[in-house]
Amino acid sequence: MPEIVLSFEEARRVVEREAAKIDVSAHVTMRAALATAFNRILAEDILADRDLPPFPRSTRDGYTVRSDGAAKLKVVGEIRAGITGELPTIKAGECAAIMTGAPLPPGADAVIMIEHTALEGNTVSLQRPVAPGENVVPQGAEAHKGDVLLKRGTKLTPAALAVAASAGKSEMRVFARPKIAILSTGDELVEVNQQPAPTQIRNSNSYSLAAQITEAGGDAVILPIAPDETSRLRQLIEEGLGSDLLLLSGGVSMGTHDLVEPVLRELQAEFFFTGAKIQPGKPVVFGQARGKYFFGLPGNPVSTLVTFQLFAKPMVQVLAGATPQPLRFLQARLRSDITVKPGLTRFLPATLSGEFGRTEVEVVKWQGSGDVVSAARSDSYVVVPEISSGFGKESIVNVLLM
Ligand code: AMP
Ligand code: MG
Query: How far apart are the C-alpha atoms of 251 and 228, rounded to whole Å?
Result: 8
Ligand nearest to the CA of 201: 1
Q: Is 195 exposed, middle or buried (0-12, 13-18, 19+ CB in 10 A)?
A: exposed
Using alpha carbons, select from 379, 293, 383, 319 the residue that is nearest to residue 9.
Answer: 383
Kindly report, residue by residue over 248-276, the tens digit of the pLDDT: 999 999 889 999 999 999 999 999 999 99
Share of the chain above pLDDT 70, in %: 100
Share of the chain above pLDDT 90, in %: 97
Q: Is the pLDDT of residue 2 over 90?
A: no
Q: Is the pLDDT of residue 1 over 80?
A: no
User: Can you give the three-state secondary structure of 202-239, one letter per residue?
Assistant: ECCHHHHHHHHHHHHCCEEEECCCECCCHHHHHHHHHH
Average pLDDT over residues 312-327: 96
Query: How far apart are the C-alpha atoms of 298 and 310, rounded to whole Å?
Result: 13
Q: Residue 186 Cα, ligand 2 centroid: separation in angstroms?
A: 4
235 vs 182, 241, 307, CA distance in Å? 14, 10, 24
Mutation to probe ligand 1, out of 191, 199, 212, 249 (largest number of atoms < 8 A from CB): 249
Confidence of residue 202 (pLDDT cuts 50, 70, 90): very high
Please give the number of the atom of ligand 1 that sits closest to the Cα of 253. Answer: 4
Is the Cβ atom of 253 under 6 angstroms away from ligand 1? yes
Is residue 320 within 8 A of residue 178, CB to CB? The reply is: yes
SS3 35: helix
Query: How far apart are the C-alpha atoms of 390 and 339, rounded to whole Å?
Result: 4
Is the Cβ atom of 205 under 6 angstroms away from ligand 1? yes
Is the Cβ atom of 59 under 6 angstroms away from ligand 1? no
Would you give the distance in Å from CA 217 to the centre of its chain? 10
Kindly report, residue by residue over 345-380, the tens digit of the pLDDT: 999 999 999 999 999 999 999 999 999 999 999 999
pLDDT at 167: 98
Query: How far apart are the C-alpha atoms of 353 and 380, rounded to whole Å?
Result: 11
Average pLDDT over residues 139-143: 98
Average pLDDT over residues 200-211: 98
Query: Which of 8-36 are b and which e, b meaning 16 or more Cβ less than 10 Å from the residue's Cβ?
Result: beebbebbeebbeeeebeebebeebeeee
Whole-number average pLDDT of the chain: 97
Please give the number of the atom of ligand 1 that sits closest to the Cα of 252. Answer: 2
Mutation to probe ligand 1, out of 182, 199, 201 (largest number of atoms < 8 A from CB): 201
Ligand nearest to the CA of 228: 2
Ligand nearest to the CA of 186: 2
